[in-house]
A and B are shown apart, each in its own frame.
Chain A
Amino acid sequence: QVQLVQSGAEVKKPGASVKVSCKASGYTFTNYCIHWVRQAPGQGLEWMGIINPSGGAPIYAQKFQGRVTMTRDTSTTTVYMELSSLRSEDTAVYYCARVDTPIITLGAFDIWGQGTMVTISS
């Protein structure tokens, strides 16, 4: 079945970086863009950016420009989100989510990963 499986929970110190993976299966990896969304404890959903697994530059939310890097590995059908210069406010669950329409970036998020808890603590 179509699914996105994310890497496990992380605990990082302030100033460090974290890299979260999202492995896709059950569909043609390069046909669907992947978004990253985060959710701080008890808070709402915050969009971080989008990557096209077939190539091209990712699009990042301005808030994360300079701190976030999204990449993909077509050989393993995996996308990655790396966030640097971590601070306590980055403590959140990070989700990857697939766009529901092939090829284009316009679309709702139809398949979500299970989420990865990232905790920033000294």
Chain B
Amino acid sequence: EIVMTQSPATLSVSPGERATLSCRASQSVSSNLAWYQQKPGQAPRLLIYGASTRATGIPARFSGSGSGTEFTLTISSLQSEDFVVYYCQQYNTWPRTFGQGTEVEIK
């Protein structure tokens, strides 16, 4: 199975600053990579699919890039509601696999 590795596990950033989250796949997943945001007590929400396409209703401050094995989620200017957990996921092969998550916390 493809192992998804996210870094860092915790990212400390000040409000208004940029956050850069990384996700690495143990083998190529092409562009079949999604990013999800999860707030406490809620289901995950799709942010990015196809590695770089924002899902419906997602603010422009969220952007994704990469292909193959290296991917990045960038939040250009952190708002208070962005300090939560983010997961990457590959949907290129079975089984579908998720990274372990990156928590973005207030610095």
Contacts and interface: CB of A to CB of B under 8 A. Distances in A.
Main secondary structure of the interface of B (DSSP, over half): loop
B23 to A, nearest CB: 13
Given A44-B100, A47-B97, A62-B95, A109 B87 contact: no
A90 interface: no
A108 interface: yes
A89 interface: no
A45 B46 contact: no
A107 interface: yes
A106 B99 contact: no
Given A44-B87, A44-B101, A108 B46 contact: yes
Interface in B32-61: 32, 34, 36, 43-46, 49-50, 55-56
6 contacts: A47-B97, A61-B95, A108-B34, A108-B55, A109-B44, A110-B46
Given A45-B98, A110-B56, 4 more contacts: A44-B100, A108-B46, A108-B89, A113-B43
Interface of B: 32, 34, 36, 43-46, 49-50, 55-56, 87, 89, 91-92, 94-101
- The 8 A-B pairs with the shortest beta carbon distances in the complex, nearest first, are A108-B34, A108-B49, A112-B43, A47-B96, A45-B98, A61-B95, A44-B100, A110-B46
